[in-house]
Amino acid sequence: AQSVTQLGSHVSVSEGALVLLRCNYSSSVPPYLFWYVQYPNQGLQLLLKYTSAATLVKGINGFEAEFKKSETSFHLTKPSAHMSDAAEYFCAVSEGNTGGFKTIFGAGTRLFVKA
Amino acid sequence: GAGVSQSPSNKVTEKGKDVELRCDPISGHTALYWYRQRLGQGLEFLIYFQGNSAPDKSGLPSDRFSAERTGESVSTLTIQRTQQEDSAVYLCASSLATGGEQYFGPGTRLTVT
């Protein structure tokens, strides 16, 4: 069965600083991996996804994530934080077609951006 | 095209009552998911429907919870004999099976008093 661990329930960065949100997963088959974002008082929306193509995935709003099989990681990064990036970020894993697309979400990391 | 819609947006109920939550997925999406999000916590998988296959009910927390889906359209999540710990936002999402990306509805905020 798949699982997801997000390291750090809260991350605080200064505006313009690097954003790094950590995600480790476990899966018995090659996984599909996702990052979703939940802005205050809004619904969840997809940031980016990995589905066995390029290991470096680019998403919306300047975010990207790298799939590292050896480390079972899928960390989310952005070179320069903006105030509008303050939100809650969720990493998710699915076992894709093999596992029927059941998706497990991590507990979430709340990103704070300081001026 | 319309996104995923959920109703009601808010529901306040007394402990012990039954509630029914509705989800209308995006037309053509064969997969439908229900999640629970307690205040300040992550998403907890409840149940997953895929086409005409038997649903994956492995996330339902107790036999008070059940869900149905009519074909590839509307789904209802029913909670019987509600308890205070059922208070949460219940989220529905749908996806194309081959893509895996899920599109979320706005959620139903359930408060059990």
φ, ψ of residue A71 in degrees (nearest 5): -105, 0
φ, ψ of residue A94 in degrees (nearest 5): -135, 145
Instruction: Write down the number of H helices and E strands in chain A.
Output: 1, 11
Run of H or E including B78: strand B75-79
Report, as an integer, the average pLDDT of A39-51: 89
Q: What is the pLDDT of residues A12-30, one digit of tens each?
A: 999 999 999 999 999 877 7
Q: What is the pLDDT of residue B98?
A: 57
Q: What is the pLDDT of residues A97-113, one digit of tens each?
A: 555 567 889 999 999 99
Angstroms from B113 CA to nearest CA on chain A: 23
Mean pLDDT of chain B: 92
Which of B5, B101, B108 to substitute to test the interface with A, most A CBs within 10 Å? B101
Top-confidence residue, B31 or B88: B88
Report, as an integer, the average pLDDT of A39-52: 88
Q: What is the pLDDT of residue A28?
A: 76
Q: Are A93 and A3 in contact (CB under 8 A)?
A: yes
Q: What is the pLDDT of residue A54?
A: 84
| DSSP track, A17-46 | S-EEEEEEEE-SSPPEEEEEEE-TTS-EEE
Q: Is residue B29 predicted with pLDDT exceeding 80?
A: yes
Q: What is the pLDDT of residues A64-97, one digit of tens each?
A: 999 999 999 999 999 999 999 999 999 999 876 5
Residues of A in contact with B52 (CB under 8 A): none
Top-confidence residue, B54 or A19: A19
Q: Is residue A53 predicted with pLDDT exceeding 80?
A: no
Which of B33, B35, B38, B43 to substitute to test the interface with A, most A CBs within 10 Å? B43
Q: What is the pLDDT of residue A98?
A: 55
Q: Residues in chain B, how many?
A: 113
Query: What is the strand order of the sheet A64-68 is part of?
Result: A3-7, A19-26, A73-78, A64-68, A56-58
Q: What is the pLDDT of residue B71?
A: 80
